[in-house]
Structure formats: C-alpha cells, structure tokens
Amino acid sequence: MSTNACIEAIATYLPEAVLTNDILQQAFPDLKIKELTRLTGVVQRHIAAPGETAGDMAFRAAEKLFVQHPEYRKQVDFIIFCSAGRDYLTPATACVLQHRLQLSESVGAFDFNQGCTGYLYGLSMAKGLIATGVARKALLLTSEAITSTIHPLDKSNRAIFGDGATASLIAATDRPDAGIGEFVFGTDGSHHEDIIVRHGGERFPLPESAEADFLDAFGNVRNHARFFMNGSAVFQFSVGKAPVLVQQVLEKNKLHMNDVDLFVFHQANQVILETIGKKLRLVPAKNHICLAQTGNTVASTIPFAIEDALLKKKIDQGSRLLLGGFGVGFSWGGTIVRL
C-alpha cells in the first residue's frame, strides 16, 4: 500500500451575489477606493446568500467535484471540514455533509477551525490518515461565510473579505513525481485577540455579553460580537513570519528556492503578498497573487489560488509548489506539494 499522498483534484464554489468596489464606494462615500484597491488587490468579493451556511457552500463545492469526477463519490473514505462556521453547535458539519453528499456510512468525518492556516492543517491531517492506512481518499473541504460576521459598517474588513468554499480530493499515490512533502507549523497564542470574534463562545456567551457598537480609530464600526482584525499587527506578523517559514520549509524538504516552480501563499491582501515576495526576492511570476475577484476567503485562498494557477497554465502535473499559510491564532504553516 502506498503511503504517499497527493492533491488529486480541486473544485471551488463562489456564491452568486457580488459586492464590487463601486457598490462599496456608494455605501461609504468617504472611502478612498482607488488607494484601498491598490493596497488590498481586491476588486470584488462574493457574498453568501441569506441563510447560506459554510456547510451549504462546502456541499456545493463537493458536488462540483463529484460532477467532474463521478467515481470519487464511492471512493471517498474520510471527510475533513475546515471552517469557523458550523450548521449546529453539535453535531459536526462534516457528519451532516456525509449524509447530504450521499457518501458511504464507512466514511470518517470531523470538523476543525484554523482560519487562514486551515488548508495546511487539513492537508497534513489528510496525509497522516493516508500514511497510516486509515484512509485512501480524503475529501478536504474549506468553507467560510465570513462576511456574515463582519459589521455592515466595518468598511475596512468588508473591502478585504469574501465568502467561498473549496473541495480537494487528497489521495494515496505511487507516482514518483507527485506528493505532499514535510510540514512546518507554528503558533503564537499571545496574539489571539488580533483576529477575533470575541463574543458568542463559552468565554463571553451571547446575548448576555452583547455590547453596543463603537468606532475604532479609523472610523470603522465595531462590535465585540463581530469579526475584528488588527490590520497593523497582522501585517507585521505576516511579512515577518512568512519569509522565515519559507526557509524552514525548504530546509525540512531539502530543497532550494530555485527548486520551487510557484510560491502560493494565503491570499491575505496585495501589499502583504508583494512585501513577502520582495523579502524573498521572488520574481513576480513565481509569487502567485489572485484575490482580485474573490477577496480573502480565509482557509480557501490557497486552493482557489492553485486552481487559478492551473487554469492559467502557470503550473501542470509534476509542478512543485511551496504553500504557506498564516493568520488567526496567530498560526502559520507550510509545505511542499507536487501535483
């Protein structure tokens, strides 16, 4: 039995509703939209329909995968669902998706929540399940309806984030030119409040802990029951940690910069990605940036970017990618993937 694992296929889903920069400009006349577009790199972002959950979007991404590869429906033996959103407090959304997707009762299923590093964590767990013989084909789902957690008057975060979902089929392989390499992970929980929805969990349950809206220093309306991000702290963390992460991933996989065909980082925003590229002295063609039409879709940005690079023929079967994620927690992770 092969113990190596590879990304065999990726399918994506974006909600129908689109929030363009023109619409944002109409909602916030004082917004410096040209400057914001230059910094974020986002022109539009997709918004989940009312009542459309992260589970619904993951279902649609998975169904798209099964339309493209009908044989997978009977072959999948594990579901890994990454999201901060969940259909119910319990049971796990992955269990609900097993039923909705009409998968075998012999399928294992679990949820986890790791934000923008989620795809790396999901890949590592899928690889581990395959390496130990627990699974042969794992369905890794990432999905986030993050815009529902952002205050309608929080113009900065509304400009950055979008909703969406992806489905990746992680499979055992004996191909010598394909596989998922060694991982590097890290955590700094002292920064857990820099990306947070403070209220609504057991620490500060709702509605008892609900507070009134308040303005931050930049004129964004905030509420502790809504999504908050300390942009300055996240920028410093991302551009400081990502270059170190890259070197650690290369060393652990016994590779050099020139061995990598494409660097695919979490698509946080344009200025973060460009700054990381400059620090690593990457030619722009090797630093894939593709968030203009989707915005920051949290754990889904890396699989969205891989699909985009494949469609643009920047990579092909056998291409070697360095994947790097960083975000909420603070957490970070990276690996090498050969398609």
Q: How many CB atoms lie within 10 A of CB 237?
A: 21
Rounded alpha-carbon distances, angstroms, from residue 233 to 6, 155, 199, 237: 34, 18, 21, 6
Q: What is the DSSP letter of 161?
A: B
> What contacts 176, CB < 8 A, 6 or more positions away?
none
Joined together, the tokens standing for residue 107 give: 């399928």
* Cα–Cα distance measured from residue 61 to residue 65, given in angstroms and rounded to the nearest whole number: 6
Rounded alpha-carbon distances, angstroms, from residue 260 to 69, 214, 252: 29, 46, 14
* Cα–Cα distance measured from residue 51 to residue 148, given in angstroms and rounded to the nearest whole number: 10
Ramachandran area for residue 139 (φ above 0: left; ψ -120 to 50: alpha; else beta) = beta
Which residues belong to the active site?
116, 266, 296
46, 15 contact by CB (below 8 A): yes
